[in-house]
Amino acid sequence: MREIACPLALVVSLALVQFACEASGSGEEVAGGGAGGAVDDAGREGSTYDASACKTADYELVRTPTNLFLMVDRSSSMWSIACGGESRWKAISDAVVQFMQASDSQNAGLGVGFFPMVDAALTPCATVADCTETQECVSGVAHDFPICMDACSAPADCGAHHQCAELDGSSVCSSSRCDSAAYSVAAVDIGPMSDEAHRNAVFTGFQQYGPLTLTPTLPALGGAVEYATAWMLKTTPGQRVAVVLVTDGPPTECFPQNGATAAAAIGASAEVAGKAAAALPPVETFVVALTSGGEDTTQLVQIAQAGGTGMAHEVQADPQLPVALADVLGEVLTAAGRSCDYVIPDDALPWAPGRINVTIGSADSEPLPYVAGPSGCSGGEAGWHYDVDPAEAKPHRILLCGASCEVVALSTGRVGLQTGCETVGGTSGAP
């Protein structure tokens, strides 16, 4: 949270790795199959795969529907004027609604969370006399007025959900919740962007959650990941969610431990994003940085890189902010949708995980090796894995390793699922 001057430039979009994966869907029953050639469609030499004795069906896979969950910074600096006569907060809400109305967004879903979250209403003050005996009157944490905050001398004074921090020359308990659980409940749940009622609910959410206090990035990102994971597992299996962190600066509170710096909070946030990207089901993290030009966004880029999305997107807070941000959200949705993440067809079930194979290109290609999860893709190996461990739950999605996704981008784009033959590479269990 900091006040910064208005620039003249428009928007800088930093690169994201994008794979032009194409797939169209239907299930195709087959009676048999032939042997692969000397070089298979996955680029390996010496293919000898022959499924004629065991393959029972082949399905051309379609990419998994993608949804976005926005975790939006509402620290008090969002009241700053975006050089067009309106606040950054109003410009962001307009941009989100504009993005939802865009024709290329109609088949996706979107939900919204906000940070910080607070336990109770904030009490404005002019002097410390307006506060209780155990409070201080602290400036710079709310729009146009200071607020009363509980004084502290040690972390224990602030309870389990808050932090003792130095603000405005006083040691006070942060008014923001510092536990990820407070941010794991959406302000507006994921819903279809094509639904006018849902778009209205998102707009109303922005009106209800105005800017205040500081920037607890670490618990906010943790809560966003928790929400996205729970939504995929419990609410809508077979769909994926990418987290989009929208913020105008580095963390200013809720650090990993008392006395830590913003850099430590960035590092811990990057660790959260990295674990989410490597988890089952995986959750990517995109970062959109709102700036006024000249700010160092290197720290925020760390979160995007750890979250598997490359660089961050930088949007300058100028009169074109609503249009520029809407465009960037469109780019994020496109990038997220190009992930090599595919739906397991309903009519392919029931099935045995040990009798599933995935191919690229021809149905007679050598199958890709199964790996246990995203960690099995490290080092540039080819392969695929499920969205969940089949020993623990029924999978709904097939995910390709990055190396195999690159092959898809350079080939016909066809990704197939075959039943009947023993899984190449083995599998970890059964649902």
What fold characterizes domain 65-118+180-337?
Answer: Rossmann fold (3.40.50)
Q: What is the pLDDT along the chain (431 residues), one digit of tens a residue?
A: 443 344 333 333 333 333 333 333 334 433 333 333 333 444 344 445 566 778 888 999 999 989 999 999 999 889 887 767 788 999 999 999 999 998 666 689 999 999 999 987 889 999 999 999 999 999 878 777 899 999 999 888 998 788 888 888 899 998 899 999 999 999 999 999 999 999 999 999 999 998 888 899 999 999 999 999 999 998 778 899 999 999 998 998 898 987 788 999 999 999 999 999 999 999 999 999 998 776 678 889 999 999 999 999 999 888 888 999 999 999 999 999 888 999 998 877 666 778 899 999 888 889 999 998 898 898 788 999 999 988 888 889 999 999 999 999 887 679 999 998 899 986 544 44
| Residue spans per domain, the chain | 14-63+341-419, 65-118+180-337, 119-175
The type of residue at 42 is A
Neighbouring residues of 329: CB distance < 8 A, sequence distance ≥ 6:
68, 95, 96, 99, 244, 288
Return the structure tokens found at 64: 């998994």
- CA angle in degrees (0–180, nearest 5) for 313-397-389: 105
Distance between CA atoms of residues 270 and 286, nearest Å = 11
Closest CA to 283 of 222, 346, 234: 222
CA distances from residue 390 to 62, 129, 161, 255, 345 in whole angstroms, order as listed: 20, 61, 36, 36, 16
Let me know: does 272 contact 219? Beta carbons within 8 Å.
Answer: no
Q: What is this structure's pTM?
A: 0.82
Residues 245, 286 contacting (CB under 8 angstroms): yes
Cβ pair 9, 328 in contact under 8 A: no
Distance of CA 375 to the CA centre of its chain: 18
405 vs 47: CA distance, rounded Å: 19
DSSP letter at 27? E
